[in-house]
Structure 1
Amino acid sequence: MARAQQLMSEQHWTRGAAAVATLTFDVDAETPILVEGRHYADQPMVMSHQSYGPDVGVPRILDLLDLMAVPATFFVPGWVAEQRPGLARSIVDRGHEVAHHSYSHRPPTSLPAGGERADFERALDVFAAQDIEIAGHRAAMWSASRETLGLVAEYGLAYDSSLMGDDRPYLVDSAHGPVAELPVHWSLDDWEQYAYLPEPRIGSVIESPVKVEQMWRAELDGMRHYGCLFNVCMHPFLTGRPGRIMALRNLIGYAKECGDVTFARCRDVAAWARADAQTPTRPLPTYDVDPAVYPN
């Protein structure tokens, strides 16, 4: 490779790969259920369904990541880290990243004025008390508000991973400076494939891991063609189950066999995107909506 091409590869956010894969795990545990109503805390079936994630799924996932020698990012709500004081440290000590995923897992768009800031800061306090360095953020339910990225920048975090404006990293300006956005999409979320509870109703279909693996392989192939970020979102209480984690193992093996996919933590991809002069800046979508046309 000519020196100019090599330099371009070193400066480009993909670092010369056809696609970059970020394996991300949202360690929500009990929080999505408590958001639906704290009375569910008295229902052992429901709560054990969720506690399976940090108690069984996370250790199993960490072992798989060790076996496959790939890094990952774990988005952890502050409440979950607080309830299980050694959890975040166990992830970091295995070479992975822990990132901010709110405190309570209440969507920012559902909170009253000042509520998002209070929730955001409370999570940061938990991680600071546990000596966990935080570089990035993902909004609960991906429901970022118009204030979210400003909070991310204000508190010195480098990136967010909640928006869907591209399939490659991009920058978003905020009142406190630019934020690297690592975009997500529902097609790469295991919640849409596996989540099911009768009450509270969090999903209605349990798909085969074989189908999910096939679907994600197809998406990875497309992203290798277009030079994208394969930012897959998984939940330990879902993907941590045996048949599903075997599908993930197969997917990782396939990506490694391709020979042109780089696995990275989100914080590293964000740093590469910030260093790449070609990374585009995209504004938050803003619309002047006529109430006569859209009254609600």
Structure 2
Amino acid sequence: MTSQNAGWRQGAACVAALTFDVDAESPVLAEGRRYADHAMVMTHQAFGPLVGVPRILQMLKDVAQPATFFIPGLTAERYPAMVEQVIDSGHEIAHHSYTHRTPTSMTPSEERADFERALKVLDRFGITPVGHRAALWEASWQTPSLVAEYGLKYDSSLMDFDTPYRLETPAGTIAELPPHWSLDDWEQYAFLPNPRLGEVIQSPLTVADMWIHEIDAMRRHGAMFMLTCHPFLSGRAGRLEALRTVIETAMERGDVTFATCKAIAEATLRDPDLEARKLEPVSVPADLYPLE
């Protein structure tokens, strides 16, 4: 374990963040407004806030661990009682866009408007978020600057490290808490025939085994276990029990600390041994990689 990481880890071998993206209908609607007419698809997504979130909150209470819920503004407006449940349970609520449209699919002004609209919705619940996650993690080069400009402390969208770091933007310095697809339940469980947002239904036992292996590897390498789950997926009974097994196994290791993204970001920004980084946008000649 390197001394460089000792500060933000606060003495733990691995820091684990349990995060839940309560997307509900928003990622499907981002594929096309016509899907609002598909009752199966809409109810499939509604399982998350209606059933998945209450189950997850009870499980987190059972294991006595904190979590961060990234909630799109549209979801918060449609399911205010669910938002209140998360607030009453004492977990962190963070910014996850308004529409769940990806920043890379919008103009800079559209991304800003969507970002601001989400902030206004959360403010109605008395929530001042300190963190942000881009829809589908598809941040634009502008996204980190927006996070800093609006006073948030961290982003969780980029994938160039498996440890947190300080990120310098034109609008200020924030913490970046990198996720990865291997620690996302969408890649394990998501299945919808139309729109085709996923084509796999993995065994929860296989997924639990994979994630426990990742935790043990990260304990050796001093990394951050940034787990991303979706209540419409991991809120299903068998999958939730697999997630419980992952958490309880990590707790039994004795050297894994669970923390909210807010707490990890604060420790990252305080760590004097972490060098601040800047994003380097990729620019290539048009004749080398022409637009398709």
TM-score strictly above 0.5: yes
2:95 is the alignment partner of 1:95: no
1:16-61 alpha-carbon deviations (Å, 9 max, x no partner): 0000000000000000111111121121111110000000000000
Partner in structure 1 of residue 70 of structure 2: 75
What letter matches 1:80 in structure 2?
A: T
Deviates more, 1:8-17 or 1:109-118: 8-17
1:227-250 alpha-carbon deviations (Å, 9 max, x no partner): 111000000000000110000010
CA contact (8 A) 2:50 2:82 kept: no
User: Residue 45 of structure 1 is aligned with which of 40, 60, 75?
Assistant: 40
User: Residue 260 of structure 1 is aligned with which of 235, 255, 272?
Assistant: 255
2-structure distance, mates of 1:273, 1:25: 21
2-structure distance, mates of 1:88, 1:179: 26
When the two structures are aligned, how many residues end up with a matched partner?
Answer: 289
2-structure distance, mates of 1:158, 1:100: 11
Q: 1:291: Cα distance to partner?
A: 1.9
Matches within 5 A, 1:223-234: 223-234=218-229
User: Residue 129 of structure 2 is aligned with which of 122, 129, 134?
Assistant: 134
Partner secondary structure for residue 13 of structure 1: helix
Partner in structure 2 of residue 18 of structure 1: 13
Matches within 5 A, 1:34-183: 34-183=29-178
Matches within 5 A, 1:229-244: 229-244=224-239
Partner secondary structure for residue 172 of structure 1: strand
What letter matches 2:135 in structure 1?
A: A
1:53-82 alpha-carbon deviations (Å, 9 max, x no partner): 000000000000000000000000011001
CA contact (8 A) 1:19 1:260 kept: yes
Partner in structure 2 of residue 3 of structure 1: none
2-structure distance, mates of 1:259, 1:226: 16
2-structure distance, mates of 1:178, 1:254: 35
2-structure distance, mates of 1:199, 1:37: 11
2:195 is the alignment partner of 1:200: yes
CA contact (8 A) 2:4 2:274 kept: no
Q: 1:87: Cα distance to partner?
A: 2.2
Q: 1:222: Cα distance to partner?
A: 0.8
Partner secondary structure for residue 127 of structure 2: coil
Partner secondary structure for residue 172 of structure 2: coil
Partner in structure 2 of residue 191 of structure 1: 186
Q: What is the CA RMSD across the aligned residues, in angstroms? A: 1.4
CA contact (8 A) 2:141 2:281 kept: no
CA contact (8 A) 1:11 1:272 kept: no
Partner secondary structure for residue 199 of structure 2: coil
What letter matches 1:17 in structure 2?
A: A
What letter matches 1:278 in structure 2?
A: D
2-structure distance, mates of 1:21, 1:177: 26
What letter matches 2:283 in structure 1?
A: D
Deviates more, 1:119-128 or 1:38-47: 38-47
Task: Structure 1: give runs of 5+ residues left out of the alignment.
Answer: 1-7
Q: 1:10: Cα distance to partner?
A: 11
CA contact (8 A) 1:99 1:135 kept: yes
Task: Structure 2: give runs of 5+ residues left out of the alignment.
Answer: none
1-structure distance, mates of 2:105, 2:282: 20
CA contact (8 A) 1:88 1:132 kept: no
Partner in structure 2 of residue 280 of structure 1: 275
Give the TM-score normalised by the residue count of structure 2.
0.96
